[in-house]
Amino acid sequence: MRFDNSYARLPEHFSAAVLPTPVAAPLLIAFNHELAQELGLDLSGVDDARLAAIFSGNVVPAGAEPLAMAYAGHQFGNFVPQLGDGRAILLGEVIDTNGKRRDIQLKGSGPTRFSRRGDGRAALGPVLREYIVSEAMHALGIPATRALAAVATGERVQRETGLPGGVVTRVAASHIRVGTFQYFAAREDTDAIKALCDYVIERHYPEVRAEPKPYLALLQAIAARQRELICRWMMVGFIHGVMNTDNVAISGETIDFGPCAFMDEYNPNKVFSSIDAQGRYAYNNQPGIAQWNIARLAECLLPLLDDDEDKAVEEANAVLAEFAEAFPKLWLSGMRKKLGLTTQDDADGQLVQDLLSLMHRSEVDYTLTFRRLCDAADGNAEPFRGMFIDLAGADEWLARWRQRAWQEATTESARAQAMRAVNPAVIPRNHRIEEVIAAAVEDGDLEPFHAMLKATARPYEELPEFVVYAQAPMGHERVFRTFCGT
Ligand code: AMP
Ligand code: MG
């Protein structure tokens, strides 16, 4: 790895140097060779045992400057002035083959100065979940951190029960979070906020440098990427589960795949996370929460926006107002694509809402409904119709959709093809993930994990060998709660 560690060169109080704590018996479970290639890692002559040693933290590669990043964050609405990487260690950064700077970070590699009462470790189950879901997200075309490696540690971690431990190696555009800004804002360290902004501009938003008000432009640009990201989640029925400000990456990537899940049957109020008792991060709350998180970021940037505080607040509020106004438009344009529509009509919003209401009432599977609508687009409406209890309602809606879609100049097959490119057939379904984890943790069987990785790598295809991954859970397979598993 040819490291170039820019974060380590930032002022001392941005991070804490720390070495990974070695584990007893590292065993390589998965390694993402494709990603390694993209990162330009030279792995010639490196065997699995060596990879396991490196990606468990037992061997620190030359050029790495391991550190834990400092950050704060609002957790479920409550501000915690010091969180930080409590079980993650940034090895360093590499410039990938596309010229992009990428972080390589171990998660579960032992305690740091920010561990508070935690053990700095991760259980194997959540490691596998993060691996599968982050890679699936990427395959769906949605910005996300990537998984480079998963290693079993050969040690047990104590949670509610004793569980096998694991380390996941995560690759990110960066690990800077809204909470990173909050850490310095809480300490009224404006110099640090400025340094962080300049670093973020350089690394993620170089285009704002030329703007008359670069820090305002930065806030706008971060807000825009966040909107885009949350809209993409909404389109595929993804529920992050813990949209705390420390889990919001400034780069606009999905990060921290904890108790996240893709919903099966459509329910706008769906919550999976066992720790989200109030439903703060329910599916339909996500856009509003994203805006709330951007408001917290805006507060941190106020001193940089204008010397006149009222003026600064006004500018920040304008960004938030823009967020509120832009999101529904973005959402509707995404939904139009899902319905195969390329033009705009004033009644489109109602058309979409009526379908969603129908889906909610019939408790149909979110992913399959849209996928079967693709079939209806090229002539086979039966599978779509067959999903609904309210058949008359479904027929009435189909007729309206046909009338609307057929006005457009597209051919049926082109429309169906465009729809299949945005409506996935395979998502990483919760009940399959649970099976994968159970097989790995209880029986040491990793075959289901590898099989699922293959299936979720091609989400927009319907391949006979992956049919079981496309199917909705049967009644007894349904998952109602997901656990953070930290
Ligand atoms: P998360 O809920 O995973 O986003 O983590 C929230 C905070 O708790 C972060 O500061 C983590 O680093 C920290 N944390 C979570 N699990 C552990 C653990 N097992 N040991 C130490 N710190 C942890
Ligand atoms: Mg986190």
Atom of ligand 1 nearest to the CA of 247: 4
Q: What are 99's two structure tokens?
A: 């010229």
67-69 and 162-172 strand pairing: unpaired
Q: What are 367's two structure tokens?
A: 């992913």
Q: From the CA of 71, which ligand is nearest?
A: 1
The identity of residue 181, as a single letter, is F
Which pLDDT does position 267 carry in this prediction? 98
CA distance 67 to 469: 38
Measured in Å, residue 486 CA sits from the centre of ligand 1 at 7
Q: What are 334's two structure tokens?
A: 């995404």
Measured in Å, residue 246 CA sits from the centre of ligand 2 at 6
For ligand 1, residues with CB inside 6 Å are 83-87, 114-115, 118-121, 242, 246-247, 256, 258, 484, 486
CB 210: neighbour CB atoms within 10 A? 8
CB 423 within 8 A of CB 140: no
Tell me which residues are annotated as active site: 246
Which pLDDT does position 486 carry in this prediction? 52
Atom of ligand 1 nearest to the CA of 119: 20
Which pLDDT does position 227 carry in this prediction? 98
Domain ranges of the chain: 7-175, 179-337, 340-486
**Long-range contacts formed by 276-280: CB under 8 A, 24+ apart:** 276/76, 276/241, 276/242, 278/76, 280/76, 280/77
Q: Probe ligand 1: pick from 83, 87, 247, max atoms within 8 Å of CB?
A: 87
Rounded to 5°, angle at Cα 226 from 147 and 261: 50
Q: What sign results for the dihedral spanned by CA atoms 431, 435, 441, 447?
A: negative
Per-residue pLDDT in tens (0 to 9) along the chain, 486 residues:
999 999 999 999 999 999 999 999 999 999 999 999 999 999 988 999 999 999 999 999 999 999 999 999 999 999 999 999 999 999 999 999 999 999 999 999 999 999 999 999 999 999 999 999 999 999 999 999 999 999 999 999 999 899 999 999 999 999 999 999 999 999 999 999 999 999 999 999 999 999 999 999 999 999 999 999 999 999 999 999 999 999 999 999 999 999 999 999 999 999 999 999 999 999 999 999 999 999 999 999 999 999 999 999 999 999 999 999 999 999 999 999 999 999 999 999 999 999 999 999 999 999 999 999 999 999 999 999 999 999 999 999 999 999 999 999 999 999 999 999 999 999 999 999 999 999 999 999 999 999 999 999 999 999 999 999 999 999 888 888 888 765
Backbone angles phi, psi at 172, to 5 degrees: -135, 155
Measured in Å, residue 243 CA sits from the centre of ligand 2 at 9
pTM for the model stands at 0.97
Atom of ligand 1 nearest to the CA of 112: 21
Which pLDDT does position 481 carry in this prediction? 86
Q: What sign results for the dihedral spanned by CA atoms 197, 198, 203, 208?
A: positive
Q: Look at ligand 1, atom 6, and give the residue with the nearest C-alpha.
A: 83
Q: Look at ligand 1, atom 7, and give the residue with the nearest C-alpha.
A: 83
Measured in Å, residue 197 CA sits from the centre of ligand 1 at 25
